[in-house]
Amino acid sequence: MSTTFTIDTATSRATPTPAPMKRLTIPAIRAAKGGTPLVMLTAYTVRMAQLLDPHCDMLLVGDSLGQVIYGLPSTVPVTLDMMAAHGAAVVRGSYHAVVVIDMPFGSYEASPAQAFESAAMLMKATGAAAVKLEGGTAMAETVAFLSARGIPVMGHVGLTPQAVNQLGGYGARGRTPEEAAKIVADATAIADAGAFSIVIEGVVEPIAIDITRAVACPTIGIGASAQCDGQVLVAEDMLGMFERTARFVKRFDDLSGHISGAVATYADDVRSRAFPGAEQLYPPRP
Ligand code: KIV
């Protein structure tokens, strides 16, 4: 049975009607290498997925939900159950984009077998088409293990937020020739192991260009380069929900301003008894 549901937005009820399978596929994403750049955004909820889906090739259920949704200090405390709940909501709210779900810290690093068990759990619970995991050469064996067993894997190199305790912060990576060479080697190892795509985050631009030229799969940049094969941002960042964001975020709107304005008007209307008005009330039957 399809895990895709339609949502009646007037009633907020999910209708368990299997949707026709019109989604983009992993082979289609692979085939986009070198073509029109791929569009990817994070989504964590059903309504956001519905709004983003028509415009995106891929939706990422990022473990950034730890900070964005739950106010956690980093992605480190995020659990498989949190990812599964949000991933299922995003799949229910989308019809077009490939949904990729992040493997949270601690759910895949110990061994390829641990990674398979966690990835299979996430894919069964959510209906997502692929998983993403952080790391380079050290994760190549795991990427090969999952890919050979029917689990498409997106890699993630450069600034890898799950390693914040080791990196010491979220600054750009690859500022020394040694570090730059390591990031390129990491990406190449993951690509050779079978990753269908690789996120390159927070690196000095020539590294992203070198990797994009070197690997056969599409690269998705975030704080990397417009020369990547696609781009990803956290949707709440690009919509202007936060005052402080990383340098690589462009704000395409000011949602926090719109929300503050609307809520201030609501508060005024409640306090002055202008709300609810006649249109929002149920008149008695004549
Ligand atoms: O968790 C996340 O949102 C991510 C992207 C920003 C690449 O990994």
pLDDT for residue 1? 33
222: Cβ below 6 Å to ligand 1? Answer: yes
State mean pLDDT over 111-116: 98
End-to-end CA distance of the chain: 48
Strand 38-42 versus strand 58-61 pairing type: parallel
Is the Cβ atom of 42 under 6 angstroms away from ligand 1? yes
Other residues' Cβ atoms within 10 Å of the Cβ of residue 285 = 4
**CB neighbour list of residue 168: distance below 8 Å, 6 or more residues apart:** none
Output the pLDDT for position 163: 95
pLDDT per residue as tens digits for the range 6-35: 666 665 555 554 455 479 999 999 999 999
Residue 156 lies inside a defined structural domain of this protein: yes
Residue 276 in domain: no
Exactly one of 134, 201, 243, 279 is catalytic; name it. Answer: 201
102 lines ligand 1 (CB under 6 A): yes
CA-closest candidate to residue 228, choices 245, 205, 250: 205
Give the amino acid at 38. Answer: L
pLDDT of 107 strictly over 50:
yes
Q: How far away, in angstroms, is 103 Cα from ligand 1 center?
A: 11
162 lines ligand 1 (CB under 6 A): no
Question: Does a structural domain hold residue 284?
Answer: no
Percent of the chain with pLDDT over 70: 93
Residue 115's pLDDT is what? Answer: 98
**CB-neighbour burial class of residue 242 (10 A; exposed 0-12, middle 13-18, buried 19+):** middle
Helical residues (DSSP H) of 135-176, grouped into ranges: 140-147, 164-167
CA of 278 to the centre of ligand 1 (A): 45
Q: How far apart are CA 124 and CA 119, in angstroms?
A: 9
For the chain, the domain total comes to: 1
- Mean pLDDT for the stretch of residues 48-75: 97
Q: Residue with the nearest Cα to atom 1 of ligand 1?
A: 62
For residue 286, what pLDDT band results from cuts at 50, 70 and 90?
confident
Distance (Å) from CA 244 to ligand 1 centroid: 17
* Residues 6+ away with beta carbon under 8 Å from 187: 136, 155, 157, 198, 200, 211, 214, 215, 219
- Residue 19 resides in a domain: no
Beta strand 13-15 pairing with 6-8? antiparallel
User: Is the beta carbon of 62 within 6 A of some atom in ligand 1?
Assistant: yes
**Residue 280 within any structural domain of the chain:** no
Nearest CA to ligand 1 atom 2: 62
For ligand 1, atom 4, which residue shows the shortest CA distance? 62
CATH at residue 246: 3.20.20.60
**Cα–Cα–Cα angle for 169, 175, 176, rounded to 5 degrees:** 120
Angle 99-100-106 from CA coordinates, rounded to 5°: 145
Q: Return the best residue to mutate from 64, 159, 162 for the ligand 1 pocket (most ligand atoms within 8 A of CB).
A: 64
Concerning whether 279 is annotated as a catalytic residue, the answer is no
Ligand 1 mean position, distance from CA 17 (Å) = 31
203-222: pLDDT as tens digits: 999 999 999 999 999 999 99
Q: For residues 44 and 17, which has the higher predicted lDDT (pLDDT)?
A: 44
On whether residue 6 sits in a domain, the answer given is no
Q: Measured from the CB, is residue 232 less than 6 Å from ligand 1? A: yes
Long-range contacts of 258-262 (CB under 8 A, 24+ apart): none
Flag whether 193 is in a domain.
yes
- Mind listing the pLDDT tens digit for each residue in 217-264? 999 999 999 999 999 999 999 999 999 899 999 999 999 999 999 999
Average of pLDDT values for 43-69?
Answer: 97
Q: Answer yes or no: is pLDDT of 5 > 80.
A: no
Look up the domain containing 98 and give its range: 26-253
Residues 6+ positions from 34 with CB-CB distance below 8 Å: 229
Q: Is residue 58 part of a domain?
A: yes
**pLDDT for 134-151, tens place per residue?**
999 999 999 999 999 999
Atom number of ligand 1 nearest to Cα 233 = 6
